[in-house]
Amino acid sequence: MTTPKLRAELDGIPTYKPGRPPVAEEGAPAFKLSSNENPYPPLPGVLEAATAAAHSFNRYPDLACSVLTEELANRFGVPAEHIATGTGSVGVAQQLVQSTAGAGDEVIYAWRSFEAYPIITRISGAVPVQVPLDAEERHDLEAMADAVTERTRLIFVCNPNNPTGTAVRRAALERFLDRVPSDVLVVLDEAYREFITDPEVPDGIGLYRERPNVCVLRTFSKAYGLAGLRVGFAIGREPVAAALRKTAVPFGVSQLAQDAAVASLRAEPALLERVAGLVAERRRVAEALAGQGWTVPDTQANFVWLRLGERTTDFAAACERAGVTVRPFPGEGVRITVAETEANDLLLRSAERFRKEL
Ligand code: PMP
């Protein structure tokens, strides 16, 4: 029997792996530290906005996400035409690749970085060009600029980087941008922007204002806690933003997501308080791990990275037995989301036990 013909480009593309859900031992608490989610309930007013929107889900949502777009435009001081929304920032990232890179074109990104980059690149038929992180787990921006060829169409800079948490600073990023040809799109993926405390790490929106080939990717999934509603956005110049509107799945962002995102933007004081709490926990977790003898790269995100090599899966299994599910990258390391204090404490105890048994 013959089967339908599928595109050869899909052969061998890994499917996206979600973080494992927590596995509770009898009667014990279990926490999911494997997807960089926000542990808190919705910000004030957000559940009400989403519930109100739920009353009309027999209707299609606003295709243009106009209220959200207007709110974002005011918030960031950019023209509404420069904003494009999508189904999570991964949806917008896929639109960015589709808009720039076809068969044989090249997409450059650091590796290891966000696991969707190779998937969305290959779905487009483009060629992934992976540039290894440096010894400090940071983007090697010089090597990334060296990797640019005639075929390069897009470069992702994940800042801070998932899964290592490291961030590139202004001077290095500007040197890099100076070297990239102005007809190559540079996407600054700032999914974790709200957690950055290092003043040397530039806000991508400032760079977008100065450079027409820079586009910034943001999400409501992390700090804002709307991961399940799927809404993200890009800020970029024409014609990039216009191309994103063409490649968007029509009606992809639900009205629930749009209204919840608007309410979240309007709840900024509560957001900042929560982010400050998570940042304080991040410092506590990173310092405690370092105190136990682990090497912890400086993290600007809501997670920490431990390069454990061959011990990665054993460490993840030990954490799971202790009630916390982390994200292992077998043979490389684990990414651990910073969450509520109780979960972080369980993680720290598990890491300490593991260390002592080495
Ligand atoms: N970019 C980075 C760097 C991420 O880590 C993630 C989430 N894992 C995303 C984009 C996508 O998030 P979302 O689609 O939920 O906005």
281-311 pLDDT per residue, tens? 999 999 999 999 999 999 999 999 999 999 9
Question: Does the pLDDT value for residue 24 go beyond 80?
Answer: no
Ligand 1 center–CA 346 separation, angstroms: 26
Nearest-angstrom CA–CA distance, 121 and 123: 6
Ligand 1 proximity of 156 Cβ (cutoff 6 Å): no
Ligand 1 center–CA 35 separation, angstroms: 9
Q: Which atom of ligand 1 is nearest to the CA of 158?
A: 3
Does residue 189 contact residue 159 with C-beta atoms inside 8 Å? Answer: yes
pTM summary value: 0.97
The CA angle 167-124-141, to the nearest 5 degrees, is: 25
216-246: pLDDT as tens digits: 999 999 999 999 999 999 999 999 999 999 9
Which pLDDT score, from 0 to 100, does residue 27 have? 67
Which pLDDT score, from 0 to 100, does residue 14 have? 85
Does residue 90 contact residue 187 with C-beta atoms inside 8 Å? Answer: no
Among 17, 89, 336, the mutation site with the greatest number of ligand 1 atoms within 8 A of its Cβ is 89
Ligand 1 proximity of 194 Cβ (cutoff 6 Å): no
Give the H or E element holding residue 90.
helix 88-100
Ligand 1 center–CA 89 separation, angstroms: 6
Which residue's alpha carbon is at the smallest distance from atom 11 of ligand 1? 90
Ligand 1 center–CA 227 separation, angstroms: 9
Question: Does the pLDDT value for residue 17 go beyond 80?
Answer: yes
84-116: pLDDT as tens digits: 999 999 999 999 999 999 999 999 999 999 999
Ligand 1 proximity of 300 Cβ (cutoff 6 Å): no
Ligand 1 proximity of 191 Cβ (cutoff 6 Å): yes
Residue whose entry in the numeric block shows the structure tokens 């954490």: 319
Ligand 1 center–CA 218 separation, angstroms: 8
Ligand 1 proximity of 281 Cβ (cutoff 6 Å): no
Among residues 168, 160, 114, 120, which one has the least CA distance to residue 144? 168
122-139: pLDDT as tens digits: 999 999 999 999 999 999
